[in-house]
Chains A and B, each alone.
Chain A
Amino acid sequence: MGGGVLKRLTFFMDPTVATLLAISVILFTLFLIIPLITVAIEPVLPGPGGYVYTPLDVFKDPTMVRLSSSRQPVIIRTINYGGKPTTLVVIVGPNYGAILNTLLNSAVVTVAASIFGLIVAFVMARYDFPGKTFFRVLAMVPLLMTPFINAFVIRKIFSYDGIISYILHNVLHLPILIHIDYLAGVMVAQTMTFWPIVYLNVYASMMQIDPSLEEQAENLGARGFRLFRTVTLPLSLPGLAAGAAVVYIFSMEDLGAPIVFREFNMMSYRIFSGLQAAITGTIPPYVSSLALILLAFALAIFLAIKKYVSLRQYAMLSRGGRWVPRVRRLGVKGLLAIYLLLLPALLFCASPQFGVFVFAFCERWVGTFPQGFTLKYFGEMIHNPILFTAIRNSLMYSGVALLIIVILGVSTAYIVARAKLPGIGVLDAIATSPIAIPGLAIATGYFLLFSSRIFKNTPLDPISSGPWLLLILAYAIRRSPFTTRAVFAGLQQTHEAFEEAAMNLGASRARTLRTIVLPLIGLSILSGALISFVYSMAETSVSVTLGGINRAQAPITYAMYDLLYSGYVYGPNLVAVMAVFLISIQITIIVVTNIVLKQRYAFIGV
């Protein structure tokens, strides 16, 4: 068998395959695998004083794991508000330490987002009603990229002087005020933000169900909920599993909501703050252990659902619809439910993004309602040195990352799709894994590895050279699956015979790649690259953790975090302006890929 493998290798290997393979293997090894191995071995290396702080020690730390909550989840007080005794309900959620809080939060958010996403997907996939297009657009709004500021708006909405309390107290005249904060706030904010990921995946699954399968079940007498339970739901499971898994990961590694809701007892926040401390002093011993645990949790969920979906589907889902889908009109009761329940729910989930626009265009927003209209904050994009530098940096980093992504994505996808090399499945899995790997684990790995003695004073060393190169590389690795998958899909849709015909006529592989493959899949490459670019611009976890090492090199998302928490009065307005800038790029690219390039992808990244 060994001889057979060697024979295969020599038969399918040529200079082009070798080059592409080398590009792929070297980049992933240096900037994904080795950093992650660093995270894994750091905990067992002796720290200062020879003490080894292992992941087991993390579990003994009461700030990480505690079996009874250190605080009351709901506090009810009677206060004097506007001269009247009023009940103030403060919902903060429990505190079981960073690790359990993170698990509890991800579980709650995943379940809540899955239920809501499933309901919306079913309604959208199977019913027709006036205004459906508006509903569909509305459902996508939470996916617009508004790092930090969307959670900021949600916190404002649920504050004791926010809209919800205002409605209860001043409109409905109830003697009650509601304030949501800490872990409870994180749960609400993440559910509102992440549910469309489930919706899009389930919707795609449902549109791919052959209508005759449901018709056959109906024909045999199944209807209503039974039809849904026995046929529609099981066939949508791949979408549900994929969507839920992505929500679980995003929820675990999200930094925005914990920072905004001041929930510092979460793994993501502890890793973040630990790395911040490391920039100026020494790295707290628990950081790499936490990053390792976070990584393990993320990978565990993917292994758990592997039965339903292969990893590659996460990066990109075709919106399906090979046949005329089964849609039917709704009766009066159904229409009432859609307009009186679903519409307000969708509007509510989209409200943070609307709030971001309000913040961008209002003079100030203190208390319940915003005050004044202005465009002056948009002028700051050019005149304010923090904003201007951050935007310029992000455009530069994402642009360079894009080049790397295209080379890496085309190399990897081509090798995986076309070169019949033994063991190529491993490369495929590695190339897709950045979807599942928390950015904070990568940030930790980069920091540990590249600030170590080996890389001292090289451009990779974040302490001496600043984080610019690491940010570019992190963007390239983390966002490459979007392009790799798009190129892979392009190759799958292009019959291999086109390439075989060229090689058969004497064209070398390099020439075949240049004259046949690239012209045929150009659009796939372009659309994948555009998506990668958008999500590089909005990358948060690595940007925020490493971006602060040298402020002059900080990217957009770091500046947004910084402006929001540096105590600057107009901070939220400026952050909102930057979010509007990001949203405009995102919408432009969605329009370009879907309408101009006619590439139909559902977006799932945040």
Chain B
Amino acid sequence: MSEATETRPAAVKGRSQFEDALARFRKNKASVCSVVVLLSLIAASLFVPAWLPWDHEEVDFTAFRAPPSIETGHYFGTDQNGRDLLARTLYGTRVSLAVAALATTVSVIVGVLFGAIAGYVGGRTDQVMMRFVDILYALPYILFVILLMVVFGRNVYLLFVAIGLLVWLTMARIVRGQTLSIRQREYIEAAHAAGLGRTAIIFRHVIPNLAGPVVIYAALTVPQIVATESFLSFLGFGVQEPLTSLGTLIAEGANVLEILPWLMWFPATALVLLLMSLLFIGDGLRDAFDPHERT
């Protein structure tokens, strides 16, 4: 892993930090493969359903519990209700991804604001805010998600806003740490001297300079949320009929694993591919942009 310090022939033009990091990322084979896998999964989930003769809810009365086969056109087989599993898997992937995107956005907004304010204001405010984070860290957030599910009924979108509101803790910690060092920089002092208020400095000078670490940890949050979503859906709290997600499909498939094995294997493979590629991309980004943070 010494790419970072590798010497290159004297370059004609200087390279930005970003280009440097991109070059490092490209050398990470696992990450590059993962990008390809992830993009294919996204493209498949978006475009392939239009080409399929079956909708994810459509019942094929000639094929109940049909095993995967090329002749019938059900490449992934069908479930007990005659619904095409390929269409359902792709649809489930789409729902899982959409939900992850939504929850990640929420968690980024909350985490960045919380961390930047704690780090910039500092002092007692910082202590209280970060102690609060420490404590929430100790409590398993799934409990609160389930509690919220009980309260709000099974409203999917609300659910994922709720997950987003609960998984911003790591982001807040990272952002606070970065803010502490940004605060010491000359340009903040200059902004201060120019008479800018606290809020303006946080929004105009601190937050834009946090972009790097925020992107990295947002990338690491996505697989966590995909996993949480399937976990909740598996238990019956997440996405419900007529919507479906990978977790819901796996839960249905797990019940009949012995007799209709394909009902679990295909969604499970999709989920594992998704999780693995997201994980590798997040790790690759972290290694490329933030070589000191390696663990």
Do chains A and B stick together as partners?
Answer: no
